[in-house]
Chain A
Amino acid sequence: MNTCEKVREQLSLLLYGELSFDEEGAVDTHLEGCTECRAALERERELHAAFDRAEIEPPASVLWESRQSLQRQIAAEHAPVYRVSWWDQFLDTRWLKSAGALALLSIGFFGARMFPNLGLGVTGMSLMDPGAQRVRSVEPGPNGGVQIVLDETRQRVVSGGLDDQNIRVLLLSAAKDPSDPGLRYETVGILNDRAQMAEVRDTLIYALEHDENAGVRLKAMDGLKPFVQQAEVRKALAGVLLSDGNPGMRTQAIDLLTQGVGDSTSNGLDRDVIGTLQELMNHENNAYVRQRGDRVLQLVNASQETY
């Protein structure tokens, strides 16, 4: 194998930074004097760039469903045995995964389980809500019959207090439902009453940081107000200050993080918040938000920007 062949075999590892110090030195030296191998290196770079473009980024909905499902499975592992009831079965069913999730059931299953006296007849179907069903596939069955697979979305009314863990699991899940901002807004509003619970607070922080709807984010911020002294809440508010696209949200975040500043009883402002405000002033374009930030920094005798 001549030197060029040997070098070309190492180009990929060179781009990955996986050659030893000596190997890399030898390849570099060769490349300096070999136009063809430099061209080969360029082709290798293009190949790597092509690999990059082929990467699949999982959709947010798949990640969200996975998290919800894991949360439910872990909750189920903790549930006492006597609670394995309709509730647990309810929580286990796949259709809870998202608003459009499906329960796959065959008519045979329904015939046997739900309508034992009705067999597989159409009468059984008519008792169910036809609007919530869709035929997915049809196959000839034994004895001249037919097997139909239905996608079915069922509705069920569940009621209970916020102290019921099962109710909370549903609410925590609904607060992150990507398909319905109205549902998220209502749910976050209800959860605000239990923001003293860590799991609820986590969900409110998640909504504050990630919800695409400013109304939902603002509602979540309302719920977190009483906990503004907690480190994780302050961190989330600092994040809002620096990266939320809505000036109203940024203004509210300033107000919450700087509550009491300027009062005679105030202990001043912690350095992290001052630093965050200074960072904000470096890039804030909104005149009102700038004015609010300015005012606070003046009150604590801090410079306006970091350099």
Chain B
Amino acid sequence: MAHKAGFQTDEKALIQAAQKGDQDAFGQLVRAYDQSVLRLAMNLLRSPEDAQDVYQEAFLRVYRNLNNFRFDCSFHTWLYRIVTNLCLDHMRKRKVRKEESSLVEGSDGPVDRMDTLQESRAESDPQRTMFAGELRERIQKALSELSARERMVFELRHYQGLKLRNIGEILGTTEEAAKNCLFRATQKMRVALGDFV
């Protein structure tokens, strides 16, 4: 807890320095959050190019608007509001363009392009590798069938580990609404994966 309090104090100082034009301070702020921002965008959009677009746009908006940040909420919440809005925009546009598929042609037929990007992991058992691949595919399919908001809440809760109260704050809704969203998302996922897990 003391560590967290210390970080928050440091963070406030960093934000104030960045607001005065200190580029180093801004760089430190970016580095404190950019991995989780990129991970969120990548998991939601399943396209490295789109994830990079969101990354750029989000941090540029932060950079341009940092002087308007008044510490009414945490920097994390403010940043995530920007990131989630950008991701939701991408997801909605994609739905309109009906570009849901992230499959590309591999040497052994279609593969999810994100799988081609995964860092290689030691996996000696081919059966296990195949099962893991199928499971990932099923989960991705189930995720793609969630609504944009359900998907967002699920990602923020499960993969980013944020509490529902914080998620509500980020998405501009109540904790209860976020809870309902998460409930619906996990229920749909359970139905879609019930026979597999």
Contacts and interface: CB of A to CB of B under 8 A. Distances in A.
Interface of A: 9, 12-13, 16, 18, 43-44, 46-48, 50-51, 53-60, 62-63, 65-67, 69-71, 73-74, 77, 198-199, 202
Nearest to B135: A50
Contacts of A43: 197
Interface stretch (B1-9, B32-40, B73-81, B87-95): B32-40
B30 A47 contact: no
Contacts of A9: 183, 187
A81 B179 CA distance: 50
Contacts of B182: 12-13, 16, 18
Contact of A199 (B23, B31, B140, B187): B23
B132 interface: yes
A77 B23 CA distance: 13
24 contacts: A9-B183, A9-B187, A12-B190, A16-B157, A16-B164, A16-B182, A18-B164, A46-B197, A56-B43, A56-B114, A56-B118, A57-B118, A58-B39, A59-B118, A62-B48, A62-B51, A70-B55, A70-B59, A73-B56, A74-B23, A74-B60, A198-B24, A199-B23, A202-B24
A58 B163 contact: no
Interface residues of B, number: 45
A54 B135 contact: yes
Contacts of B197: 43, 46-47, 50
Nearest to A69: B56
B34 A67 contact: yes
A53 B136 contact: yes
Interface in B124-166: 132, 135-136, 139-140, 157-159, 163-164
A118 B183 CA distance: 64
Given A18-B163, A62-B38, A55 B43 contact: yes
B104 interface: no
A50 B183 contact: no
A65 B179 CA distance: 36
- Chain A: interface secondary structure? helix
B132 A47 contact: no
B112 to A, nearest CB: 10
A63 B35 contact: yes
B186 interface: yes
A13 B56 CA distance: 34
Nearest to B52: A66
A18 B55 contact: no
Nearest to A17: B163
Contact of B117 (A50, A54, A59): A59
Contacts of A60: 119
Interface in B1-55: 23-24, 26-27, 30-31, 34-35, 38-39, 42-43, 46, 48, 51-52, 55
Contacts of B23: 74, 198-199
Contacts of A12: 182-183, 186-187, 190
B63 A199 contact: no
B193 interface: yes
